[in-house]
Amino acid sequence: MIIRGYRPADLPDLYRICLQTGDSGEDATPLYRDPDLLGHMFAGPYGRFEPSLAFVAEDQAGVGGYCLGALDTRAFEQCLEAEWWPGLRLRYPEPDPAARDRWTPDEQLAYQIHHPWRADGDLVAGFPSHLHIDLLPRLQGGGHGRRLIERQLAALAERRSPGVHFHVSAGNRRALGFYRHLGFTELRPGEHHVLGMRLR
């Protein structure tokens, strides 16, 4: 198993891993009709716009994990607003707000394409970077998550980031245990945990 920098040919692997770990760490394939939707939100833009902060774990079976980062969350959001979401908005129409309580999981993600998440100002003031980490089951539990995230933190520190944050769903107890074990702390309470770490 090696950890290496992202290459453009890895993009389909980012999408596949994102989907196969996208249901609070479990396989989200049965949840979505369109297998690319989750990757459009949480994987593709990082390979495209922050390739130097994208790291993958690869074994004989291929790429099976990644840690994706964005140095400046606010600048990243603005970049996606200009370059990423407009094309997707043409492909995925905004679902009818009047039918919100009947939206399918695909429609819920399509709504987010039209109304992307924006990180809180006070959060990005102290912890401007963010990251995502996902490993397929065959690579979990062997120390590769720690290696991947340490590689990401070193890269962010080298780029002089003062701090990094990320969101974890309350249902993902395993990931929460992992992050706490590695020294990340809760930055604010809530249904979706926000964790982070100062880097200098």
Ligand X SMILES: CC(C)(COP(=O)(O)OP(=O)(O)OC[C@H]1O[C@@H](n2cnc3c(N)ncnc32)[C@H](O)[C@@H]1OP(=O)(O)O)[C@@H](O)C(=O)NCCC(=O)NCCS
Please identify which residue in 181, 183, 189, 192 interacts with ligand X, judged by CB under 6 A: 181
193 contacts ligand X (rule: CB under 6 A): no
Q: How far is the CB of 53 from ligand X (least distance, A)?
A: 17
* Phi, psi angles (nearest 5°) of residue 88: -70, -30
Q: Which residue has the tokens 């890269």?
A: 155
Q: Which residues pair with 176 in a beta bridge?
A: none
Q: What is the Cα–Cα distance from 183 to 109, expressed in whole angstroms?
A: 31
Site string for ligand X, 69-108 (x = CB under 6 A): ----------------------------------------
13 contacts ligand X (rule: CB under 6 A): no
Q: To the nearest 5 percent, what fractions of the chain are helix, strand and coil? A: 50, 25, 30
In this chain, which residue has its C-beta nearest to ligand X?
145
133 contacts ligand X (rule: CB under 6 A): yes
Q: How much is the CA Rg of the chain, to the nearest whole Å? A: 16
- Strand pairing class (185-188; 192-198): antiparallel
Question: Which range in 31-39, 43-51, 118-126, 175-183 contacts ligand X by CB under 6 A?
Answer: 175-183
33 contacts ligand X (rule: CB under 6 A): no
142 contacts ligand X (rule: CB under 6 A): yes
* Phi, psi angles (nearest 5°) of residue 169: -70, 145
Catalog residues that contact ligand X under the rule CB under 6 A. Answer: 21, 25, 133-135, 140-146, 168, 172, 174-175, 177-178, 181
